[in-house]
Amino acid sequence: MRGQILTHNHPGGVTDGPVELRGISFSEADVELAAFVEVAEVRVITAGWRYTLRPPPTGWNRDWWQQILVPEHNLHRGEVLADVIPRMDRGELTRVEGAAFTIHETWVRVAKALGMTYNRMRVRP
């Protein structure tokens, strides 16, 4: 699959609530597979969003995933959770909202830190 586009869907999650909750971004396993097979882009389609992620200009592979991306992902996920958990405790976010926000915001930060291209676009209702 090297150089190809890998597209899949995430059919679960909220389908009739606010668009912000209609689908979750990439799982770590999604990105691990994309790096392992060295695709040019990975996409996730949900009920509310289309997510895309491209590797940094230097490319990605399994070693890069393990040595570079995993530590960076863990760092940023921890930072996001440090903000999200108190907001959920105060009732500002539900658990579903907190999970959706955490996953999306973590990929935003990881992509910026590693020179990847990450996008989230609304799907028309």
Per-residue pLDDT tens over the stretch 54-79: 999 999 999 999 999 999 999 999 99
| CA–CA gap between residue 101 and residue 48 (Å, rounded) | 14
- Alpha carbon 101 to its chain's center: 10
Task: Report, as an integer, the average pLDDT of 14-23.
Answer: 60
Q: CA-to-CA distance for 10 and 101, rounded, in angstroms? A: 16
The pair of three-digit structure tokens given for residue 9, joined into one six-digit string = 């869907």
Backbone angles phi, psi at 48, to 5 degrees: -120, -15
Is the pTM above the cut of 0.75?
Answer: yes
- Contact in structure between 22 and 14 (CB atoms under 8 Å): yes
